[in-house]
Amino acid sequence: MKKRAIGYGLVLSLLGSLTACGGSGSAGNDEPIKIGIITPLTGNAAAYGSGFWLGVQAAENEINKSGGILVNGKRHKLQATVCDDQFVPSKSVSCGQKLSESLMIYTPATQSSFPLMGFNQKDDFILMSTSQTPAFTSQGNKLVVRSTYNLERQIPDLARLVGEYAKKEKLTLKSVAIMEVGSDFGPAFTEAFSKAWKAGGGTITGTASYDTVTTDLTSQLTSLLRGNPDAIAITTVCQSAALVMDQARHLGFKGTFINAVCAGGTGMTKYMGNSEIIGSNIATVKTNAFDSIPVVGAFHKKYSDEKYKSAIEQQIFEFGYFGVEWFAKAVSTAGTTSDSAKVHAALEPALQTLQPNILGITEYFPDTGDIEMTTYLAQTKPDGQSFDPLGGQK
Amino acid sequence: MQVLANGLALGAIYALVASCLLLIFGILEIPDFALGGRIMVGGYAGYFVAENLGLHYWIAVVAAALAAGLLGVVSELAVYRWLRNTPRPLLSGFIGALVLLTATEITVQLLFTADFRKLPSPYESQILDFAGIRMTEQRLLAGVVALVLIAALHAYLRGTRGGRAMRATLEDRRGAEIVGISPAKTALIAMLLGSCMAGVAGALLGPMYLVYPTMGDAILIKGLIVIVLAGMRSSLGAISAALLLGIAESFGASYLSVGFSDAYAFIFLIIALMVRPNGLFTKSVLVR
């Protein structure tokens, strides 16, 4: 009996001390600033989504190691919580509802961010996304922000740079068939690309819909190849893009691939029967693709550990990292841990303190949430690494 | 011609999966959704043997068959055998199979992550070009092996004592028991054979469509559509229905709209069931 009483006493005193610890935390000074991350950690886009989450975690660790985010003289820890949506819209919604108490929710794609736009203003959280779809920032949502370019702003550059590339390589690149991903991004890309490509004298021979879940693309490609295109434009992340390229070659396609999202990575070659195929992949890339840019080189050196390799090759790690770094700076600049509108407005001055940055984001437009960033053309080498075939032309 | 060839290659794989489902359903009387998990386990087993151990593709195919067969036997002994003795075996089996499928997929995902993996095969980079049809050797091989396995299964069912016992159980379970055929043993053999064939399907698909935890789901659904189309009991009908479905999907995607390529199977099923509710390849039942 006596032993049991001592045991109960110990447990109670331990619980008491734990409660006391929790109490001091909730009293206020160091209450964490919460952000939610909605990304596919399982399913067919898991490698991409996990790479993004790895970038977020790296930024979170760095911020917390340096003492947290300084707001009005007090330091607050950053607390990132992840929810796996598998790129399924209904799961994105339930993830969003679960994480709606966060000051910001950050997602790595249109699929994950669009379903949250219905309630992010009502639930008062900033919605940051790597979505390139124009509608993300054209619907008057006051709390959205992109961490990558808007297709409408960038596609004319892509069409122009591809034209320059064809001229330089003496390639016939007039007709393009589009593999259109079945999210909002796909039709938006088709519309913007078709407009820009036709304006430059090119033709679109056909479009075919696909998604990141499908791995047999023979039907789509057979249908597209009947139009005998010079190039196929691809609109999905690297894994799916690699499948399109591999299967298109099997069906006799000899032309170029224009990639809207993926510029390479050794990961791509793993999915191809013949890695030489990858050499015909061209894409627009951001600053983070080039180690020769000092800020990027230093960043990649810092994260040269093997566990970051795949995420960096897919060029998604930096997006996870920089979005969080930018947000943390904005919270500090805004001087509030709860006013999302104030933080949203502070993203502009915060960005100016982060120049130059690994993504090459130069400007932010608070009225819409759009950004301006530098884009380059990249060609992928057979080893999966990308290089700039136009020698720095932007 | 290219479209037809695509459809036939696809249909042969559907036929293989449908044959496995039909065999297991016929003997166990359980709609074995977990077969999708065993296709996937076959894919992973093949991948690790070929990629990590560096062994030849055909050894990987054998390993895939063994791994999936073993999982099938464990599933039968640990789950299905007990569910068949519950008051509502069909419903219990239905739920049990879904649980098994989910458990298999989650376990593999936890162990190996959800990354795509390409099962290396020497036939994947070889392209055949004949009469305007282009196809990798792997795709042709998958179709041929699928049809050979189905033929071998039929030969086993018709030409061996064990096979005849299995057919007897398929025809009349009670009658088979009366003449001394052990239903437990027959179920175990059916599960082993069906699962081994599913494992081979995983290893055949792995080089073309990659290996990942949910790789068996889509093909399983197509297999189920095929056996419903064929009429649940007709194995030769299942092969015909599978080939028809593959061709319909391929032509639909190429000449109608690729956006609905996954819907063609269901549209085909609905139309077929409206015309012949008992299945395309069953004799009409006259109800007096």
SS3 of B200-212: the string is HHHHHHHHHHCEC
Q: How confident is the model at residue A24 (pLDDT cuts 50, 70, 90)?
A: very low
Q: Are A102 and A79 in contact (CB under 8 A)?
A: no
Chain A residue with minimum CA distance to B213: A43
For position B166, what pLDDT does the model report?
Answer: 84
Q: Which residue of A has its CA nearest to B248?
A: A219
Q: Does A239 touch chain B (CB under 8 A)?
A: yes
What number is the average pLDDT over the span A283-297? 82
Say which residues have a Cβ less than 8 Å from residue A155's Cβ, sequence separation at least 6.
A189, A192, A193, A195, A196
> Cβ(A43)–Cβ(A92) under 8 Å?
no
pLDDT of A23 reads 35
- Judge whether residue A7 has pLDDT over 60: no
pLDDT more than 70, % of chain B = 93
pLDDT at A44 over 70: no
B102 interfaces chain A, CB cutoff of 8 Å? no
pLDDT tens, residue by residue, B24-52: 888 888 889 999 999 999 999 999 999 99
Residue A6: is its pLDDT beyond 50?
no
Question: Most B CBs within 10 Å: which of A219, A254, A262, A272, as the mutation test of the B interface?
Answer: A219
Average pLDDT, integer, range A287-305: 88
pLDDT in the model for residue A32: 94
Query: Which residues of chain B does A236 touch, with a Cβ-Cβ cutoff of 8 Å?
Result: none
A352 pLDDT exceeds 60? Answer: yes
Strand blocks (E) in A220-260 = 231-234, 256-259
B261 to A44: CB separation less than 8 angstroms, yes or no:
no
The closest of A77, A70, A67 to A33, measured between CA atoms, is A77
pLDDT, residue A383, reads: 67
CATH superfamily of A33-150+292-373: Response regulator (3.40.50.2300)
- Gyration radius (Cα) of chain A, Å: 23
Using an 8 Å CB-CB cutoff, list chain B residues near A44. 114, 116, 212, 214
pLDDT digits (tens, 9 = 90+) for B205-225: 998 888 988 899 989 998 988
| Cβ contacts of A276 on chain B, cutoff 8 Å | none
Domain A152-290+377-387 has CATH 3.40.50.2300: yes
Compute how many other C-beta atoms are within 10 angstroms of the C-beta atom of residue A41. Answer: 21
Mean pLDDT within A160-169: 86
Query: Mutate which of B258, B260, B262 to test chain A, going by most A C-beta atoms within 10 A?
Result: B258
Q: Do B109 and A42 touch (CB under 8 A)?
A: yes
With 0-12 / 13-18 / 19 or more C-beta atoms within 10 angstroms meaning exposed / middle / buried, residue A8 is exposed
B4 touches A: beta carbon within 8 Å:
no
Q: Report the pLDDT averaged over residues B59-70.
A: 97
- pLDDT tens by residue, B76-132: 999 998 888 888 888 888 899 999 999 999 999 888 877 778 899 988 877 788 777
Look up the ipTM and state it. Answer: 0.70
* Predicted pLDDT of residue A21: 38
| DSSP letter assigned to residue A259 | E
For residue A274, the model assigns a pLDDT of: 62
Least confident of A136-150, B94-108, B133-147, B249-263: B249-263
Q: A223 vs B250: CB contact, 8 Å cut-off?
A: no
Whether the pLDDT of residue A266 is over 70: the answer is no
Cα–Cα nearest to B149, from B24, B12, B50:
B12
Show me where the domains of chain B are located: 2-275
A223–B134 C-beta distance less than 8 A = no
- A300 pLDDT more than 50: yes
CATH number of B2-275, picked from 2.40.128, 3.30.1370, 1.10.10, 1.10.3470: 1.10.3470
**CB-based contacts of A322: which residues, under 8 Å, 6+ apart?**
A55, A59, A147, A354, A357, A358, A359, A361
What percent of chain A lies above the pLDDT cut of 70?
84
Confirm or reject contact between B222 and chain A (CB < 8 A): no
How many CB atoms lie under 10 A from the CB of residue A99? 22
CB contact under 8 A, A250 and B135: yes
More confident position, A208 or B69: B69
- Which residues belong to CATH 3.40.50.2300 in chain A? 33-150+292-373, 152-290+377-387
Q: Give mean pLDDT, residues A358-363.
A: 92
What is the rounded average pLDDT for all residues in chain B?
86
pLDDT at B287: 43
How much is the average pLDDT of A347-373? 93
A252–B134 C-beta distance less than 8 A: yes
Closest Cα in chain A to B137: A250
Give the pLDDT confidence score for residue B200 in this predicted structure: 96
Cβ contact (<8 Å) for B125 and A215?
A: no
Token pair 């991004």 in the structure block, residue: A185
Q: Is the pLDDT of residue A34 over 90?
A: yes
CB atoms within 10 A of CB A226: 15
Predicted local confidence at residue A12, as pLDDT: 44
A176 forms beta bridges with A204, A231
pLDDT of residue A314: 78
pLDDT at A152 over 80: yes
pLDDT of amino acid A19: 39
- The Cα–Cα gap between B7 and B208 comes to 15
Which helix (H) or strand (E) segment holds residue B151: the answer is helix B137-159
CA dist A277 and A279 (Å) reads 5
pLDDT at B284 over 70: no
Give the residue, A127 or B167, on which the prediction is more confident: A127
Burial class (CB in 10 A: 0-12, 13-18, 19+), A356: middle
Look over chain A and give the mean of its residue pLDDT values, rounded to a whole number. Answer: 84
pLDDT at A178: 94
Chain B CB contacts of A250 below 8 Å = 127, 134-136, 139
B221 has a chain A CB within 8 A of its CB: no
